[in-house]
Chains A and B, each alone.
Chain A
Amino acid sequence: MPDDRDLLDTQSSDGMLANRIPMTAATDEAILDMQSPAVDPDGEPLKRKPFGVLFWFAVGFISIVVLSAVLANLLPLQNPDFGNYSSLNQAPSGAHLLGTDDLGRDLLARLVFGARVSLIVGFVGVLIGLVFGGTAGLVSGYRGGRLDIALNAVSFIILAFPAIVAVIAIVTFWGASLVHITIILGVATIPLMYRVIRASSLSFAQRDFVIAAKTMGATNTRIVLREILPNVIPVMVTFSLITVAGLIVIEGTLAFLGLSVPLPTPSWGNMINEGTANNALSTDPWIMLWPALFMFLLLWSINLIGDRLRQRFDIREGVL
């Protein structure tokens, strides 16, 4: 039978091996440096992996599109709605840099003004989704309980409703305008945002650091905004960018079907539509080429930026 009396003494005097090793701040620092590979011995963070040429090309392309769409009225562009009947279906030339369409309108001007529709629908629609769906998702994931069940059910109901039918019905009923299309598509993204952000919020709601914040006296609002939201932002940004791209495609589809902004207001979608009319695709392919190419490049850029940002936000997994 071992004697317990020595247990107490052992523990208190010299039992634990660690007590014999003089642990100083210097040793600690050595351990610290060994265990944090993101930090070099001088305490300077190491250079992160660069974003690469493609990323900056994408950023540049989006900047040009956004800037020219915003400043369209100030740019030396021709009237996008003015049809010059003496120059129909022109190939790109000095007078019309990208050529003209079958009504003699300048394609460059239409492309720039058409970008406004795509960008407004994409970004404002996602903003609507983020504000409502994001807020609901954060609260729902953190609070749980009946509120969560109720919001969940609502999101499933909206998701289960075929969006294209809703859009056709609403556009027919209210009329197609940029505001209506943006609101409709924004509302359609709410349940998507809600589900993604709720899932992310849920995964943080029971983490120790949230409970720790609670034990330090933080209110629920504070916990959601200061503890959970910063952790959810990477998912939010990435998913939002992908959704922007998605909405631009949907707007293009609606415009192609004649359900988006009414003509003659240009949008990339209705430009593509016009480019396929009257066999134009075989005779004057650039009418369709420009909006299709720009839409492709814009979506590619947005998705690439979203993806690279996601990789950058994953830095914690990368270094540990």
Chain B
Amino acid sequence: MRGLQRGGKSLEFKDAGSQEGPLLVVEDLHTSFRTSRGTVRAVDGVSFEVHEGKTLGIVGESGSGKTVLSRSIMGLLPPRDVIRSGTVRFAGHELTAMDDTELRQVWGAELSMIFQDPMTALNPVKRIGVQIAESLKLHLGMDKQEATSTAIELLRSVGIPSPQERVRWYPFQLSGGMRQRVMIAIALACAPRLVMADEPTTGLDVTVQAQILDLLADLQQERHMAVILVTHDLGVVASRADDIIVMYAGRVVERAPTRTLFHDTKMPYTRALMDSIPRLADPSGARLDAIAGRPPDLINPPAGCRFAPRCPYAQDKCRESEPPLRTVGSPDHLFACWFPLVDGKSTVPAVPVSLSASQNGASGATTEGDA
């Protein structure tokens, strides 16, 4: 009975959602964590939109705030010592204003999540069929039999061979790739309109990565879902995202349609990320261009452009005032840089970044944070 009620409620939600405009609107989202050292501003004023059926790639290195961003959108933050402000509007509903009871009707049914590590995201002591069936019963009000047969269909659709048998298997009996397929089946069970995939292939080896991403893309096409693909690997989103957001130190530093981003990179950080991807065309023995230094301390970020301490083109202006997100020419290509690249080349001379200088900057910030 409870399941039916919930099913009814979530359907109601589906109808009530405004069908016009983007599916997800994030406006000026801030998420900070209070720690003993000070406030960590993990997400610092992020805005973007995702349209129905489209794919958005969120790219950034470790510590850039991309995972916190995805959890902030979902509303999956720890209950204490977190400050979140800004707007997350999903299908016309304000997610930030919802309490847990309301969110539970959206989670899984309308908005679901695929986790990074399929080894830990499945309950080790429950059969995979049961784990898939749970949300079907909860949101769609299916009975046990119906849910099980739907679970088998879902397993088949994610490419698991002989699903009638495997539905009774435990996660430990499956390989990593298979488990991630099961995770996808769980996330897609109730036909959500938006799926957040947080590094969905990081825990898998390269051959399986491509299969999983292709599977996700196929299912997305079939079901007309929007996908947010969070990754540290520009290569992963290059062929799969419609738009890409590049994050650095909790901020969006560049945002553009995928093709534009690759053909007309404006921000030196994006450029540096691209240069750090190994390329088949490189001669053997070629060294990868790593980005010197580490991301800044988010308790006390550097004044001016946050990438300046690591940027080979940084000028005095970069270190003094923070560049706003702006456009030049094309309105949907935004970037935050005082001296954007033109045709992939900087207009100012490059100064080699010394690692010690950037580390000094970081440790200086730490000391101030402690005081």
Contact = CB atoms under 8 A, between A and B. Distances in A.
Given A5-B263, A11-B235, A218-B134, A29 B172 contact: no
Given A4-B265, A208-B120, A219 B80 contact: no
B117 interface: yes
The number of chain B residues touching the other chain, given as a range, is: 35 or more
Interface stretch (B37-45, B106-114, B301-309): B106-114
B262 interface: yes
A209 B281 CA distance: 41
A278 interface: no
A233 B176 CA distance: 26
A208 B105 CA distance: 20
Contact of A6 (B109, B123, B279): B279
A217 B100 CA distance: 9
A279 B154 CA distance: 76
Interface stretch (A34-42, A101-109, A116-124): A34-42
A230 B6 CA distance: 25
A86 B16 CA distance: 91
A32 B108 CA distance: 28
Contacts of A8: 238-239, 258-259, 262-263
Interface in A267-319: 316, 319
A316 B79 CA distance: 32
A43 B165 contact: yes
A217 B5 CA distance: 14
Contact of A215 (B105, B113, B206, B239): B113
Contact of A217 (B105, B121, B125): B105
A39 B161 CA distance: 15
A215 B138 contact: no
A34 B175 CA distance: 9
Given A2-B275, A36-B175, A23 B207 contact: yes
Interface stretch (A14-22, A128-136, A191-199): A14-22
Nearest to B156: A25
B177 A31 contact: yes
Contacts of A1: 344-345
B279 A28 contact: no
A172 interface: no
* Most chain B Cβ neighbours within 10 Å, of A15, A215, A230, A233: A215
Interface in B155-183: 159, 161-162, 165, 172-178, 183
Given A16-B210, A212-B113, A10 B280 contact: yes
B134 A212 contact: no
A213 B123 CA distance: 9
A52 interface: no
A12 B121 contact: no
Given A6-B281, A216-B186, A18 B123 contact: no
Contact of A319 (B172, B211, B277): B172
B172 A4 contact: no
Contact of A216 (B79, B124, B138): B138
B16 to A, nearest CB: 17
B98 to A, nearest CB: 13
Given A7-B274, A23-B211, A231-B123, A15 B280 contact: yes
A29 B105 contact: no
B370 interface: no
A242 B344 CA distance: 69
Given A216-B112, A217-B104, A217-B105, A7 B125 contact: no
A38 B172 contact: yes
A18 B282 CA distance: 19
Given A18-B206, A212-B115, A32 B178 contact: yes
Contacts of B108: 215-217
Interface in A208-258: 208-209, 211-219, 226-227, 230-231, 233
Nearest to A316: B172
Nearest to A28: B161
B209 interface: yes
Counting chain B CB atoms within 10 Å of each CB, the highest count among A4, A7, A12, A208 belongs to A4
Interface string A42-81: 0100000000000000000000000000000000000000
Contact of B263 (A4, A39, A212, A230): A4
B238 A216 contact: no
Nearest to B279: A2
Listed residue (B74, B123, B258, B271) with the most chain A CB atoms within 10 angstroms of its CB: B123
A16 B134 contact: no
Interface in B206-259: 206-211, 214, 234-235, 238-239, 258-259
A320 interface: yes
B80 A216 contact: no
B193 interface: no
A233 B126 CA distance: 13
Nearest to A15: B280
B76 interface: yes
17 contacts: A2-B281, A2-B282, A8-B263, A10-B281, A15-B235, A16-B235, A18-B210, A18-B211, A28-B161, A32-B174, A35-B174, A36-B175, A38-B173, A43-B162, A209-B123, A215-B76, A215-B108
Interface of B: 6, 74, 76, 79-80, 104-109, 112-113, 115-117, 120-126, 134-135, 138-139, 159, 161-162, 165, 172-178, 183, 186-187, 189, 206-211, 214, 234-235, 238-239, 258-259, 262-263, 265, 271, 274-275, 277, 279-282, 344-345
Given A2-B275, A214-B76, A219-B104, 14 more contacts: A4-B262, A4-B271, A16-B209, A34-B175, A36-B173, A43-B162, A209-B121, A209-B124, A217-B106, A217-B138, A218-B104, A218-B135, A227-B126, A316-B124
Interface of A: 1-2, 4-8, 10-12, 15-19, 21, 23, 25-26, 28-29, 31-32, 34-36, 38-39, 43, 145, 207-209, 211-219, 226-227, 230-231, 233, 316, 319-320
**A-B CB proximity, top 6 nearest:** A18-B210, A216-B108, A12-B239, A35-B175, A217-B108, A208-B121
